[in-house]
Structure 1
Amino acid sequence: MKIWVDADACPRVIKEILFRASERLKLPLCLVANHALTKHETRYVTSVQVGNGMDIADDYIAQHAELEDLVITADIPLAARIVEKGGVALDPRGELYTEENVGERLAIRDFMTDLRSSGLTTGGPPQFSMTDRQRFASSLDRILTKMHQGIRPV
């Protein structure tokens, strides 16, 4: 089992939670990003810098993540790819992507993209809060416990 992190947009506080979980559980964790990442002093955390371009990091994660791995991403199309191939994906606010919800989230994402391209200002996601951090930590713990026991969290 390995944790993959779509690190380009992942909040630092979430990375810190992941680093602690990786160390505590002795789980390998790989950060994937288009830019250079700060080196972390742990034998379980590695990073991969991929080339610049749309979806290069997403493609790397989708190609390398195995079914028993966990992918952390806010990118809904990447999450959909992971779920479609039977994998497990969690967003940085603690919501588990499932076959039931990822299609709806993609549709909403596409709708909002269309609105923005037509000139409507829609704003972005709400600011990351302490509640989001706690929800993520709780979801991560629950998911990792199930996966460690060989139980699919979905």
Structure 2
Amino acid sequence: MIYIDADACPVKGEAERVATRHGVKMFLVANGGLRMSQNPLVEVVIVPEGPDVADMWIAERAGPGDVVVTGDIPLAARCVEGGAQVLKHNGEPFTQANVREALAMRDLMTDLRAADPFRQGGGKGFTKADRSRFLDALERALRAAKAG
């Protein structure tokens, strides 16, 4: 199965096409604002409002053989720990080897932003190359998940 942390996910359509091609069930999980899909393989899950409710829903279900798509590092860490394959929206994988470092960097950046409230931060924009890398990475992750 594919679990999508759907809040602000720029690759929902791409993931749906790949899931359909592979005949894999996909869950779009958010606390609202999603259109229902006509695709029988896609289930839209609307969770109650609240901090991390969508993340908890995904983390409680994702495991070995599943693929999770998220930009949320704590969710990624929980899913990697549970045995799922986890991808960022740009196709970069979260793995046992890199997720702890990503958590530490996230915490450091949170502290830096708190120390300097005027700090203007902004990530780089999402590009066509990112979208292409995501599609390739999702294909590989699904093949690996099927292989066990």
Cross-structure match for 2:6 = 7
In 2, Cα distance between the equivalents of 1:73 and 1:16? 14
In 1, Cα distance between the equivalents of 2:40 and 2:48? 24
Of the candidates 23, 27, 32, which is equivalent to residue 30 of structure 1?
27
Would you say 1:70 and 2:67 are equivalent positions? yes
1:1-22 per-residue CA deviation (whole Å, 9 max, x = no partner) reads: x1000001211xx111111111
List structure 1 segments (4+ residues) > 2 angstroms apart after TM superposition.
Answer: none
Amino acid at match of 2:92: E
Cross-structure match for 1:81 = 78
Cross-structure match for 2:141 = 143
Amino acid at match of 1:45: V
Matches within 5 A, 1:26-65: 26-65=23-62
Unaligned runs of 5+ in 2: none
Q: Compute the TM-score of the two structures, normalised by the length of structure 2.
A: 0.94
After TM superposition, give the deviation of residue 66 of structure 1 in Å: 2.7
Quick one: structure 1 residues 89 and 10, their matched pair in 2 at CA, closer, same or farther if it must change by over 3 Å? same
Q: Compute the TM-score of the two structures, normalised by the length of structure 1.
A: 0.91
SS of the residue 2:14 aligns to: helix
Unaligned runs of 5+ in 1: none
In 2, Cα distance between the equivalents of 1:66 and 1:145? 15
Asked if 2 retains the 8 angstrom alpha-carbon contact of 1:112 and 1:122, the reply is no
After TM superposition, give the deviation of residue 74 of structure 1 in Å: 0.4
Of the candidates 86, 91, 110, which is equivalent to residue 88 of structure 2?
91
SS of the residue 2:29 aligns to: strand
Q: Percent identity?
A: 44
In 2, Cα distance between the equivalents of 1:148 and 1:124? 37
Aligned CA-pair RMSD: 1.1
After TM superposition, give the deviation of residue 122 of structure 1 in Å: 4.5
Structure with the greater relative contact order (CA < 8 A, sep ≥ 6): 1 or 2? 2
In 2, Cα distance between the equivalents of 1:89 and 1:57? 16
After TM superposition, give the deviation of residue 149 of structure 1 in Å: 2.3
SS of the residue 1:126 aligns to: coil
Asked if 1 retains the 8 angstrom alpha-carbon contact of 2:62 and 2:82, the reply is no
